[in-house]
Amino acid sequence: MDGICAVVLAAGEGTRLRPLTERLPKALCPVGNVPLLDRALARLAGLGLSGPEAVAVNACYLGDQIVEWVGTRAHLSVEPGDPLGTAGGVGKLRDWIAGRGVLVGNADAYLADPAVPPGPDIAALLAGWDGESVRLLGQPAPDPAAPGTFDGHLFTGFSLLPWRLVRDLPATFGDLVRAVWRPAEAAGRLTVVPYRGAFYDTGTPADYLAANLHAAGAGGLVAADATVTGHCQRSVVGAGATVRGTVTRCVVWPGATVGPDERLHDVIRVGADLTVPAGEPAQPERPG
C-alpha cells in the first residue's frame, strides 16, 4: 500500500490483566488460541501491509518475548526502561516511518466481523483518506457525551495518522489522545469511521475472557493436540493443555492442566497452579 505504513503497539505492561501478564506480555496472550499480536499482524496483512518495510512492532515490557516471537516478520522498536506510551512509541519510529502516513493499532484490540475477514473489515479507515486528517476506528458509545468518546464513539483499537503530525512527536513518554487526537478534534480534522463487528480491548480478565468466548463461538474451541477427558463447555482450550475435570466458560492456556476433581467456571487457567477469576466485563457486549 503506497504511502502508508503500520505500527502495532505492543510495549505496555498490561497491569489490569495481572497476574496473566506476569508470565506473558499482553500482546502474546492468546485469544481463540491465537496470540493477540498475531491477530493484529494478520489484519494488517489483509490490508496488504506486511514485512519489516511496511509494519513495525514496538516492545518494552517482557520485550525479549515480543522480539523473539515477531522475528523478521516486522521491524522491531525496542524501548529501553519504561514504555514510552502510545505517542512516544510512534515518535521513536519517526525515522522508520519517514514521511508516510501511519496506521497505528493496539496489539490488545480484539476485533471480529463475521461478515468481513480481517483487513477488509477495517479498510474503510483508509478508503479515500486525504493524507492530512486523523481518522479513528470507533463504535457508538452507550453514552455519547461520556468522557473518552470521540463524536459519540468509543475508540476500537486503530487510528490513521498523517506524517505532518507524526514528524514532531518526540521519543519521550506521551499518549496519542493528548498529543494528536484531541488537538485534531479541536481543529475539525478528526473523523470517526464506524466498525461494524465485535470489539473487546482485552484489558481486564473479564474482557479477556469475553473476547475468548466470542472467538470460540457457542461450541467452544479445543486445540487439536489438547487432551480433554473431562467436560468442556463453551471454553477455549489451548495447545497441549489437559482437561480432566470440568471447565465452563473458561480459557485454558496452552500447556495448562485441569485436575480431575476441579470444577472451573468463568476463569483463566495458566499452567497447573494459576487460576484467575474473570469477574464482570468492564465494557458492554459489542455487536457481532
Give CA–CA dist 124/195, Å, rounded: 9
Summarize pLDDT for 67-114 with one digit per residue, the tens: 999 999 999 999 998 999 999 999 999 999 999 999 999 999 999 999
Q: Collect all residues with Cβ–Cβ distance below 8 Å to 273 and sequence separation of at least 6.
A: none
The predicted structure's pLDDT at residue 207 = 95
Q: pLDDT value at position 111?
A: 97
Q: Residue 83 has what pLDDT?
A: 94
For residue 280, give the amino acid letter.
E
If 0-12 CB within 10 Å is exposed, 13-18 middle and 19+ buried, where does residue 271 land?
exposed
Give tens-digit pLDDT for 9-41. Answer: 999 989 999 999 998 999 999 999 999 999 999
pLDDT of res. 281: 54
Non-local CB neighbours of 96 within 8 Å, separated by 6+ positions: 5, 56, 75, 77
* Residue 279 pLDDT exceeds 80: no
Class of residue 41 by CB neighbours under 10 A (exposed 0-12, middle 13-18, buried 19+): buried
Within 13 A of 220's CA, how many CA atoms are on the CB side? 18
Q: Does the pLDDT of residue 280 top 70, yes or no?
A: no
**What pLDDT does 1 receive?**
60
Residues contacting residue 11 through CB under 8 Å, at least 6 positions apart: 58, 59, 60, 61, 63, 66, 79, 83, 84, 89
Q: Which residues lie closer than 8 Å to 56 by C-beta, 6 or more apart?
A: 5, 6, 7, 8, 74, 75, 76, 77, 93, 96, 97
**pLDDT over 90, % of the chain:** 92
The pLDDT mean for the chain works out to 94
For range 202-225, the mean pLDDT: 95
Question: Which runs of consecutive H residues, i.e. helices, occur in the chain?
Answer: 36-45, 63-70, 85-91, 94-97, 163-166, 176, 182-186, 205-216
Q: Is residue 120 scored above 90 in pLDDT?
A: yes
- pLDDT value of residue 211: 97
Strands of 251-252's sheet, edge to edge? 221-222, 236-237, 251-252, 267-270, 274-277
**CB-CB neighbours of 250 under 10 Å:** 27
User: How does pLDDT run across 134-165, given as a tens digit for each residue?
Assistant: 999 999 999 988 889 999 999 999 999 999 99
Residue 282 confidence (pLDDT): 52
- At 2 the pLDDT is 74
Answer for the pair 170, 221: CB distance below 8 angstroms, yes or no. Answer: no
Nearest to 74 by CA among 5, 170, 165: 5
| Cell matching residue 277 | 477469576
Name residues whose C-beta falls within 8 Å of residue 155's C-beta, 6 or more positions apart in sequence. 136, 137, 138, 148
Distance, CA of 242 to CA of 229 (rounded, Å) = 8
Q: How confident is the model at residue 288 (pLDDT cuts 50, 70, 90)?
A: very low
Q: What is the pLDDT of residues 218-277, one digit of tens each?
A: 999 999 999 999 999 999 999 999 999 999 999 999 999 999 999 999 999 999 989 999
